[in-house]
Homo-oligomer: A and B are copies of this chain.
Amino acid sequence: MNSPVSSPALPTYADVVAAHERIAPFVHRTPVLTSAYLDALTGASLFFKCENFQKAGAFKARGASNAVFGLSAEQAGKGVATHSSGNHGLSLSYAAGRRGIPCTVVMPRTAPQAKKDAVKGYGGRVVECEASTSSREAVFAEVVAETGAEFVHPYNDPRVIAGQGTCSRELVEQVEGLDAVIAPIGGGGMVSGTCLTLSPIAPGIRIYAGEPEQADDAARSFRAGHIIADDSPETVADGLKVPLKELTWHFVKNHVTDILTAGEDEIVAAMQLVWKRMKIVIEPSSAVPLAAILRNPDIFRGKRVGVIVTGGNVDLERLPWGRS
């Protein structure tokens, strides 16, 4: 099974429980932080689940670790591969490094050197392709043919979704009486994991997704009732440009209460607010939920709201606000 799974099976909550046990030695049980200032500002009680403190700097370490440590010894020997210039590539390299197996990440030649170095820093191999989808697919097929590596998709993979579901499992253990949880949505891996976990164990918690207005394919899909993919969206929340796929669409369609959007300036302002008031480094994608809460105060006022801070990998030398 080296090629992308065409009709992957839906994961179950039992898969989340198994994933949690499997990955516990390799990922952090991240803390939940609060901010009196942001509570006063929103009129809600916000509980920030800090996956920016996660291994490799993002929640993606959960799903990647679940995929890697669930492999048979035989498959593990051939390694894993993915195409991602973002947190998933980094996280897969991290997880493979911990298991001591090969990992290949196909990345565009044009990706920042720092991202390539980060993958290599965890022991992964970077294979460059051109920026086009056709080049990426051709190069990736070559890698898999040569190595026999297992493809781990960034989100349309039941192992990955089950791994991401461990985050909300911790959150409901850490915070009692949540009324809602909100997470950013790109491909929908984190939101799907959240649905997978909460719908059986805490069905009263409403699940919201936050999405950049300029990459609102999930919100439009949600309203249309079928997957709509954006054509090359541009947003500061660069982790959220990818479209939903069949597995994640299943969870979004069936379990999400609403998808709320935020504008670019709102995302940057929310990001800066978190840095300034909470003293934590979060990436732009992670600021989208707070931006959505600030835009929709009536939905959240008086509620206890879990906010998934998905990651903290940001280029400190290219922050999305100007120098004064």
Instruction: Say how many copies of this protein the assembly contains.
Output: 2
Flag if B279 contacts A312 (CB, 8 Å). Answer: yes
User: Are B276 and A316 closer than 8 Å at their CB atoms?
Assistant: yes
A272 touches B52 (CB 8 A): no
The chain B residue sitting closest to A53, CB to CB, is B279
Chain A interface secondary structure, helix, strand, loop or mixed? loop
**What chain B residues lie within 8 Å of A319 (beta carbons)?**
316, 319
Determine which residue in A278, A318, A322 has the highest number of CB atoms from chain B within 10 A of its CB, and name it. A278
A318 touches B323 (CB 8 A): yes
The verdict on A178 contacting chain B, using a C-beta distance below 8 Å, is no
A317 CA / B269 CA spacing, docked (Å): 12
Query: Chain B residues near A322 (CB, 8 Å)?
Result: 317
A321-B317 contact given A53-B279, A279-B53, CB 8 Å threshold: yes
Q: How far is the CA of A50 from the CA of B278 in the complex (A)?
A: 12
**Which A residues between 1 and 46 are near B, CB-CB below 8 angstroms?**
31, 33
Residue A57 at the B interface, CB < 8 A?
Answer: yes
Proximity bits, A171-183, B CB within 8 Å = 1, else 0: 0000000000000
Interface residue? A72 (CB, 8 A): no
Residues of chain B contacted by A278 (CB below 8 angstroms): 53
**A54, closest chain B residue (CB):** B279
Q: Say whether A133 faces chain B, with CB atoms less than 8 Å apart.
A: no
Find A281's partner among B31, B279, B315, B324 (CB 8 Å cutoff).
Answer: B279
